[in-house]
Structure 1
């Protein structure tokens, strides 16, 4: 977005609004900021003083001068504060500390079952957050916000999981309140905590990492379950209750008579997720306990596994064809563990989407494996926290409190 366009969106410029101009990391002089915003240089100076007092911006190397004293430039200081980012999956947990541009500074990952319950899993997250901060020579006081992804439906306005099928004990648990209470820092306000569905944060991470100029992106995660994150007109779409993109429970033709863990029959997830593909291959005599076993067979060139994955791609493509007509994305990115099947899964998806969708919808449509891959979720969690913690409203409130 250009400076002029960004300013037209921002409207009247307070300290928080002015900061949005600097979030791209590009240094600017006070004169440039005054020209962009239309504010007096004295007003710009007051706004910058407020942001400098928060430690978020500071001077950088002098700009080129055309004579006289070189004008000084100011820019975002990415390392001024840090962000807690966490990707808590069905059977894995990844926690990281990032800077204000989303760059990962330190991280830790291990196998952890989400079914252990919220206090055990979130306790693990807090414990390793403290360890990572110590490794970086920082404390909880350096945290500006936390972003957390969970593998189930989340009511974004409250950060509470809602009837998550694979998360016993998590239903309606107040995740933000628990995390705030257990990350208290003397003399500081409670840590802002933002919680979302894991596929939504992966969509944010994928766009930030690989498609920053794409305003219409559809991210599909194929793993233990199937879900999607929708970015339209540059904004993540959550829907009325936060479950937009839950395409794993849309019925497909080949699913007739097959029951899903949600209680319904014929869901896409019941025939095309990792466990579903593994179960189908077991019925045909293969020793496939999980989706990872299927992937191992695909890598070894097993034709039955390749056919099974490609058929799953066709089933996914059946649902995506409808999504393409409804949303008209420019990019569909496939992530999650089963996306490691690569072209075998993609081939099935493309076969159906390109043959059944309207030509205008697919003329410039790109269907690819996620480029952000394993880093998508952590980057997305970080960007989620940064987006809200560094919003104009949040920064103006923070500046007023200081």
Structure 2
């Protein structure tokens, strides 16, 4: 999984609640966080096995295992075969020891999930949300939903160790604040992490929704790939880039903003960002709806477009396929620049079957050097509408279980409360 970026350190808190609930009796063993990384695969191991794997002295392993047991992150898991004397105890990662929240906010939807430390959902909620209602209205609703999910899962607030949030616009990575988001009036520069941390003193990490969709698709469906490009085609268009298993955000979190790249062969179509000729202005769900309406095919939402294509409407199928070709020209440039192994196309318009993806493949394979496409796969997303919330939870988990932060928490000091993407 990609690793979280470090954040400025906050004042040290000495109580368990302020440390995200990790501190416990026997805590304080340096390096316990690294030991837990070995155990996150779920395989039970004995102290002797851990000593052999790490090369650490048995006494050091004992201290670290005891600290993790006291925190609840490690739990007994039966006994190994005896080689003489009492069989040695085995220990395994206990993902239910703590919980995180993943929230995916789109232009018109809000998906929130409470998960364990493997990302397995314990309770979920999906609601219609109007992102243009402003940050206070939307985030207060998210906070209320989180409280309800904690109650439904019968989990204490002290169990919560992180919250990940995806937003449908550019997010400054270092602060977690939206920056000039085109479809989010009132959100520019708003302190999203601060708003949520007013209710829970845990790390709140915020990122662009497409980055989290890329992360969710990667950890769930394609963990074997090191280089992946995720393209979201919905009301807007964006990309999430994973290179060397790391999520790339760029200098200020603006990497992957494909929607506002100049589309080929178009120069006079006005975009919501104020420029003309943007890819989003000619190939997004909004653009397809406008085109179909102009030719007498009624469509009001992306779901309408998908339904028309599935029902065999020729005009809709042609419009979606042409959007795929136009997007494919931009993807071809990305493939030449980034050389991914896999391009995943998701978002609501990807539900229209092969029309969109076929159009993209047609151009990418024809316009890109054979060396870059020899092993390249272009496939539809498999996680559907849940990719964003899965990625948001994964971001929070990565942050909470990072070895250095876990060591700080086990020592009784708070982990740095990152407010940016994970």
In the superposition, the TM-score normalised over structure 1's length comes to: 0.93
Determine whether 1:343 maps to 2:348. no
1:146 is paired with a residue whose SS is strand
Compute the displacement of 1:291 (Å).
2.3
| Matched residue, 1:114 | 131
Compute the displacement of 1:68 (Å).
3.1
Determine whether 1:397 maps to 2:408. yes
Determine whether 1:221 maps to 2:232. yes
Determine whether 1:88 maps to 2:100. no
Cα distance in 1 for residues equivalent to 2:73 and 2:109: 33
Cα distance in 1 for residues equivalent to 2:63 and 2:378: 48
Determine whether 1:245 maps to 2:256. yes
Cα distance in 2 for residues equivalent to 1:318 and 1:65: 63
Q: In the TM superposition, what whole-angstrom CA distance separates every residue of 1:245-271 from its partner, at most 9, and x where no partner exists? A: 111111122322111111112111111
Determine whether 1:301 maps to 2:312. yes
| Matched residue, 2:336 | 325
Q: In the TM superposition, what whole-angstrom CA distance separates every residue of 1:120-141 from its partner, at most 9, and x where no partner exists? A: 1111111111111111111211
Compute the displacement of 1:289 (Å).
2.3
Cα distance in 2 for residues equivalent to 1:156 and 1:250: 21
Higher-RCO chain (CA-CA 8 Å, sequence separation at least 6): 2
- Pick one of 241, 263, 277 that aligns with 2:288: 277
2:127 is paired with a residue whose SS is strand
| Matched residue, 2:64 | 47
Where does 1:365-380 land on structure 2 (aligned, <5 Å)?
A: 365-380=376-391
Cα distance in 1 for residues equivalent to 2:131 and 2:80: 51
- Pick one of 32, 50, 68 that aligns with 1:33: 50
The answer to whether the Cα contact below 8 Å between 1:218 and 1:229 also exists between their aligned partners in 2 is yes
Q: Which piece of structure 1 moves more, 289-298 or 310-319?
A: 289-298
Compute the displacement of 1:231 (Å).
0.3
The answer to whether the Cα contact below 8 Å between 2:73 and 2:93 also exists between their aligned partners in 1 is yes
Cα distance in 1 for residues equivalent to 2:30 and 2:155: 32
| Matched residue, 1:77 | 94
Q: Which piece of structure 1 moves more, 68-77 or 337-346?
A: 68-77
Cα distance in 2 for residues equivalent to 1:280 and 1:254: 17
Cα distance in 2 for residues equivalent to 1:73 and 1:372: 34
The answer to whether the Cα contact below 8 Å between 2:30 and 2:407 also exists between their aligned partners in 1 is no
Compute the displacement of 1:295 (Å).
1.4
Where does 1:250-265 land on structure 2 (aligned, <5 Å)?
A: 250-265=261-276
The answer to whether the Cα contact below 8 Å between 1:130 and 1:139 also exists between their aligned partners in 2 is no
2:411 is paired with a residue whose SS is helix
In the superposition, the TM-score normalised over structure 2's length comes to: 0.89
Give the superposed CA RMSD: 1.5
Cα distance in 2 for residues equivalent to 1:235 and 1:400: 28
Q: In the TM superposition, what whole-angstrom CA distance separates every residue of 1:352-386 from its partner, at most 9, and x where no partner exists? A: 00111111111111111101112211111111001
1:401 is paired with a residue whose SS is coil
Q: In the TM superposition, what whole-angstrom CA distance separates every residue of 1:313-345 from its partner, at most 9, and x where no partner exists? A: 000100000000111111111111001012111
Structure 1 residue runs of 4 or more that deviate by more than 6 Å after TM superposition: none
Q: In the TM superposition, what whole-angstrom CA distance separates every residue of 1:165-198 from its partner, at most 9, and x where no partner exists? A: 1111111111111111123xxxxxx211111000
The answer to whether the Cα contact below 8 Å between 1:147 and 1:193 also exists between their aligned partners in 2 is yes
The answer to whether the Cα contact below 8 Å between 1:254 and 1:315 also exists between their aligned partners in 2 is no
Compute the displacement of 1:13 (Å).
7.0
The answer to whether the Cα contact below 8 Å between 1:149 and 1:197 also exists between their aligned partners in 2 is yes
| Matched residue, 2:155 | 138
Cα distance in 2 for residues equivalent to 1:368 and 1:157: 32
Cα distance in 1 for residues equivalent to 2:353 and 2:66: 51
The answer to whether the Cα contact below 8 Å between 1:274 and 1:292 also exists between their aligned partners in 2 is no
Unaligned runs of 5+ residues in structure 1 are 2-11, 184-189
Q: Which piece of structure 1 moves more, 109-118 or 64-73?
A: 64-73
| Matched residue, 1:186 | none
| Matched residue, 2:326 | 315
Cα distance in 2 for residues equivalent to 1:401 and 1:13: 12
Change (3 A) 1:216 1:13: farther
The answer to which structure has the higher helix fraction is 1
The answer to whether the Cα contact below 8 Å between 1:83 and 1:146 also exists between their aligned partners in 2 is yes
Q: Which piece of structure 1 moves more, 357-366 or 17-26?
A: 17-26
**Number of corresponding residues:** 386
| Matched residue, 1:286 | 297
Cα distance in 2 for residues equivalent to 1:374 and 1:138: 26
